[in-house]
Amino acid sequence: MRRQPESSCTERGGCKGRPSGASAATRALSLGLIAVGVLTLAWVVVTWRWQEPITALEHWHSQGALAAQLRSRSAPAHVGSLRQQARAFRLTSHEGEAMGQILVPRLGLDTVLVEGTSEADLAKGPGLYAGDFLPGEDRLVYIAGHRTTYSAPFSQINLLRRGDTITVRMPYGTFRYRVTGHRIVRASDIAVLRSTRRERLILQSCQPRFSATHRYLVYALPVRRAR
C-alpha cells in the first residue's frame, strides 16, 4: 500500500498538509523583510544617538593618515611675529592637508583639523574654512564639521555652553578659546563668514541634524595663546 503524506484533518477545517513551495517562499521573503526592517531601524538608532557607522570607519582611517601627516609638519622657520607665522603656515598648506588639532572637553573631542571645507575635506575631519584665517592672525577662525556622518565630530555641538573651552593646537602655537554663545542661521547666510578686526572662533555644523537648511554656530573668543 502506498504511504499517504502526513496531514492533520478536522471535520470543519479540512486537511492541512505540509506547506507548499510557494508558502515556504512567502515565509522566507517575510522573514527577510523583517530582518531588513530590524537592521534599518538599528542603523537609524545608532546614527541618531551616535554616528553613522559605515562612514565612521572611513573617517577613522583618514584621521590616522592625517595624524601621521601632522607629525611631519612644523612651524615656518625664520618668521617673526605669531601673525606672520600663521600666515606663512597657511600659504604653505594645501586643501585636504592636516593643519592642527582641536580639543573640546565638553564634547570629548580630540581630532585632527584639515585644510578646507569641501565634502571630501570634511570626510577626513573638521575643516578650517579656506577663505578665512588661522589662529593667531587676529581675525575670524571658522571651523566646520559633520553632525551625523564621518564620526560626527560636531554631533553634540548644541551641548556647548558659555564658558566652555576650545583648544586649537597648531604647529606654530596653541590657542585656547572660551565659548560666548551660539546662533542658528540659514545655510544661505554668508554674512556670518565676514571677518572682523579681532580674533574670534566659530564652530559650525548643520541644523537640524539630518538636514542642511540651517547652520548651528558656536562663538568663542581667545583667552590664551602660546608658541
d(CA 201, CA 196): 11
d(CA 93, CA 66): 13
For the chain, the distance separating the N- and C-terminal CA atoms, rounded to the nearest angstrom, is: 98
Show the CA angle centred on residue 139, arms to residues 167 and 96, nearest 5°.
Answer: 65
Yes or no: say if 145 and 203 are a contact pair by the CB < 8 Å rule: yes
Q: Cell numbers of 11, please? A: 471535520
d(CA 168, CA 111): 10
d(CA 81, CA 83): 5
- pLDDT at residue number 12: 46
CATH number, domain 50-226, options 2.40.260.10, 2.30.30.90, 2.60.40.10, 3.40.50.2300: 2.40.260.10
Yes or no: say if 49 and 43 are a contact pair by the CB < 8 Å rule: no
- pLDDT at residue number 9: 45
- pLDDT at residue number 18: 53
Q: What is the 3-state secondary structure (H, E, C) of 84-134?
A: HHHHHHHHCCCCCCEEEEEEEHHHCEEEEEEECCCHHHHCCCCEECCCCCC
Q: What is the reported pTM?
A: 0.75
From the list 18, 111, 21, the residue with the least C-alpha distance to 70 is 111
Q: What DSSP letter does each residue of 156-183 carry, written as one string?
A: TGGG--TT-EEEEEETTEEEEEEEEEEE
Strands 14-16 and 98-104, by their bridges, are unpaired
Q: Could you read off the pLDDT tens digit of each residue along the chain, which spans 227 residues?
A: 445 544 444 444 444 555 566 677 777 777 767 766 655 554 454 454 545 667 777 777 889 999 999 999 998 887 789 999 999 999 999 999 999 999 999 999 999 999 999 999 999 999 999 878 999 999 999 999 999 888 889 999 999 999 999 999 999 999 999 999 999 999 999 888 888 889 999 999 999 877 889 999 999 999 977 76
